[in-house]
Amino acid sequence: MNYEIVIGLETHVELSTESKIFCSCGGHSAAKEPNDCVCPACSGMPGMLPVMNKRVVELAVTAGLMLNCNINRYTTFDKKNYYYPDLPCAYQITQLNHPICTDGCVTLKTSGGNRDIRIKQIHMEEDAGKLVHGGNSSFVDFNRTSVPLIEIVTQPDFRSAEEVVTYLNKLKSMFRSGGISECEEGAMRCDVNISVRPEGSEEFGVRTEIKNMSSFEAIERAIRYESQRHIDAIEFETEELVQETRRFDDVSGKTMAMRNKETEADYRYFPDANLMPIIIDDEWLEEIKANKPVAVDEKVEEYLAAGISDKEIDMLISNNKISSLLEDTVKLGCNTRDAATWILTDCAGVLRKDGKSFDDLVITAEKLAVIIKMVNDGTINRNAGKKVLIAVVENGADPVSYCKEQGLDRKVDTAAIESVIDKVISQNPQAIEDFKNGKTKAAQALFGACMRELKGAGDPSAIKELLDNKLKNM
């Protein structure tokens, strides 16, 4: 019999905020040493009260808009109670009854065509700390406690590991380009719910949940292993499937039972009376919408229409810094295709030469736009443009003054060119003599001398014309 795999995902994403969700300690990437981003509130000291970080709401709403969700204008927090040493309050503040976003949808491009995955909800919550085991001791690091997370819960709409990985890559590039999360390893963690059913069956099978995976490769392997385990269990009655929580062991490539699936009642959820309900009014929602970055899909369409290649699009989509540089340069009046070449080919070339990456790139959109415009309007030629770019990227030079200093400007005024021609003529009496005697080559030598004198500045055809005129009238 053929079986269909059914998967639903719960994905936790650490938000790129400057501070934690309920206190002013530094956020996700601030910590350098264990426990250096900790205060009485996030380490669970009695009597400390949470204060909501407004930015978390804005990023959660932005994520919801990107995933086509309803934004709930009334949203509240609940306490989820359980005891574990990395959870100093013995409860996690999360959202159960009124999550911030519900009923979204995301379309995946897969080898089998477009697939719609429904988003059940997105809720905000705080992360737990970390336990570190060493020697015969265990340590607790509270840097991560109260770091803001959004949890994105899908309906059981995935039918293969490929679809799951496509979805996660899409979330990752969306969230990166939208400034929601950098989604580095560990900042995006998934619980994978799996069941199988005979092909054509409408009923869902028994599901298991594989907890807390962050490598996409491990997720793929875990899905393959776990779905086969389910199929074998049904087909060959090797074991009885029970709804439970499992973990994936990277070394053996197998999943193992962790605990029986806990139910909602196990957590004794109740509303968190220390946090006011959050009301998102029209004005605030409009403001968040106005600041929402263009969705990846729309961006890709826009780039394709501008003649950007798939490979270049991948580079742009996966790097927030260079895609912003591109967009800002375009806003300053440059063409998208041009700007993309200057950034992805020319800037990349300078960086490569210096053994650096895009993360080290220092150039403002203003300076880049000036260079592109000078090349496009013929003020300097493209090679000169590259020289200017190197000076800007390596030494922060000002493009216009640099061109002047280096004499790269081809639009040197006529008077300046004429004075150079006069000088060259007076310095080369022999060549003038030769020219008068009909040696046309002498004119070429004089032209070369003028070009050298002007150091490549000035438009060569204008220089030639002025020189020819002078010689004719001698």
The site for ligand ADP (CB under 6 A) is made up of: 6-10, 153-156, 193-195, 204, 207
Binding partner at 460 among ligand ADP, Zn ion, none, C-beta below 5 to 8 Å by kind: none
Pairing of strands 3-14, 101-110: unpaired
Distance CA 227, CA 254 (A): 11
Q: Which is nearer to Zn ion, 42 or 363 (CB)?
A: 42
Give me the least distance between CB of 189 and ligand ADP, in Å please: 14
Give me the least distance between CB of 198 and ligand ADP, in Å please: 14
Binding partner at 471 among Zn ion, ligand ADP, none, C-beta below 5 to 8 Å by kind: none
Q: Which is nearer to Zn ion, 25 or 390 (CB)?
A: 25
Give me the least distance between CB of 356 and ligand ADP, in Å please: 42
Tell me the helices (H) and strands (E) count for the chain, helix number first: 16, 16
Helix 382-395 vs helix 365-376: crossing angle, to nearest 10: 170
Give me the least distance between CB of 384 and ligand ADP, in Å please: 57
Single out the residue of 25, 213, 370, 392 in contact with Zn ion (rule: CB under 5 A): 25
Radius of gyration in angstroms for the set of CA atoms belonging to the chain, rounded to a whole number: 32
Give me the least distance between CB of 6 and ligand ADP, in Å please: 4
Going by C-alpha positions, the residue among 22, 60, 76, 44 that lies closest to residue 272 is 76
Going by C-alpha positions, the residue among 391, 341, 336 that lies closest to residue 367 is 391
Element (H, E) at 167: helix 161-177
Does 59 help bind Zn ion (rule: CB under 5 A)? no
Give me the least distance between CB of 148 and ligand ADP, in Å please: 21
Going by C-alpha positions, the residue among 269, 296, 287 that lies closest to residue 54 is 287
Bridge partner list, 26:
19
Tokens of 325: 């540089």
Tokens of 451: 């070009």
Q: Which is nearer to ligand ADP, 194 or 446 (CB)?
A: 194
Give me the least distance between CB of 9 and ligand ADP, in Å please: 6
Distance CA 423, CA 66 (A): 66
Give me the least distance between CB of 363 and Zn ion, in Å please: 37
Distance CA 117, CA 154 (A): 7
Give me the least distance between CB of 190 and ligand ADP, in Å please: 10
Binding partner at 8 among ligand ADP, Zn ion, none, C-beta below 5 to 8 Å by kind: ligand ADP
Give the number of residues written for the chain.
Answer: 474
Going by C-alpha positions, the residue among 473, 471, 465 that lies closest to residue 417 is 465
Q: Which is nearer to ligand ADP, 20 or 229 (CB)?
A: 229
Site string for Zn ion, 267-286 (x = CB under 5 A): --------------------
Give the binding range for Zn ion (CB under 5 A) out of 18-26, 113-121, 317-325, 379-387. Answer: 18-26
Binding partner at 432 among Zn ion, ligand ADP, none, C-beta below 5 to 8 Å by kind: none
Distance CA 463, CA 346 (A): 30
CA atoms lying within 13 Å on the CB side of residue 316: 28
Q: Which is nearer to ligand ADP, 29 or 245 (CB)?
A: 245
Give the binding range for Zn ion (CB under 5 A) out of 17-25, 391-399, 435-443, 451-459. Answer: 17-25
Binding partner at 195 among ligand ADP, Zn ion, none, C-beta below 5 to 8 Å by kind: ligand ADP
| Contact of 55 with 278, CB cutoff 8 Å | no
Q: Which is nearer to ligand ADP, 216 or 269 (CB)?
A: 269
Pairing of strands 113-126, 101-110: antiparallel
Distance CA 43, CA 64 (A): 30
Give me the least distance between CB of 158 and ligand ADP, in Å please: 8
Distance CA 166, CA 171 (A): 9
Binding partner at 156 among ligand ADP, Zn ion, none, C-beta below 5 to 8 Å by kind: ligand ADP
| Contact of 153 with 8, CB cutoff 8 Å | yes
Distance CA 174, CA 108 (A): 13
Q: Which is nearer to ligand ADP, 193 or 379 (CB)?
A: 193
Does 23 help bind Zn ion (rule: CB under 5 A)? yes
Q: Which is nearer to ligand ADP, 163 or 453 (CB)?
A: 163
Binding partner at 10 among Zn ion, ligand ADP, none, C-beta below 5 to 8 Å by kind: ligand ADP
Distance CA 243, CA 207 (A): 5
Q: Which is nearer to Zn ion, 144 or 367 (CB)?
A: 144
Site string for Zn ion, 200-219 (x = CB under 5 A): --------------------
Q: Which of residues 29-58 bind Zn ion (CB under 5 A)?
A: 39, 41-42
Tokens of 357: 């990456």
Amino acid occupying residue 45: M
Give me the least distance between CB of 122 and ligand ADP, in Å please: 12
Give me the least distance between CB of 68 and ligand ADP, in Å please: 17
3-class DSSP state of 213? strand
Burial (Cβ within 10 Å: 0-12, 13-18, ≥19) of residue 169: middle
Binding partner at 193 among Zn ion, ligand ADP, none, C-beta below 5 to 8 Å by kind: ligand ADP
Contact residues toward Zn ion (CB under 5 A) are 23, 25, 39, 41-42
